[in-house]
Amino acid sequence: AGRGRGKMAAGGAADAQARFGHSVKGLLTEKVTSCGTDVIALTKQVLKGSRSAELLGQAARNMVMQEDAILHSEDSLRKMAIITTHLQYQQEAIQKNVEQSSNLQDQLSHLLK
């Protein structure tokens, strides 16, 4: 009778050990899965960060190009303002010449009568 109990106790211990091994494997599997998920999330975050840096760099380059275009436009506007002023002076001079020529025509026609 003593031998039967010994086998049962040994069988129970083996069974408990098997259950323990199985639960440890389950916990390890969960931990590995969790670590894998964390690594994937971290990788996505790093890629997102590098993409953000790339986008910021592109935005900075675009701003520099825009700034150059704005400076060029300001320079063109200044030149156009100077040209406009010169054209106004020329228009005034032409108007004076037209008035003087019509006065001269009047005087000539007076003299020729």
pLDDT at 28: 86
The pLDDT value given to residue 48: 81
Q: What is the 3-state secondary structure (H, E, C) of the chain?
A: CHHHHHHHHHHHHHHHHHHHHHHHHHHHHHHHHHHHHHHHHHHHHHHHHHHHHHHHHHHHHHHHHHHHHHHHHHHHHHHHHHHHHHHHHHHHHHHHHHHHHHHHHHHHHHHHC
pLDDT digits (tens, 9 = 90+) for 53-112: 888 889 999 999 999 999 999 999 999 999 999 999 999 999 999 999 888 888 888 888
Q: Where are the domains of the chain?
A: 1-48, 68-112
Q: Tens digits of per-residue pLDDT, 22-42?
A: 788 888 888 889 989 999 999
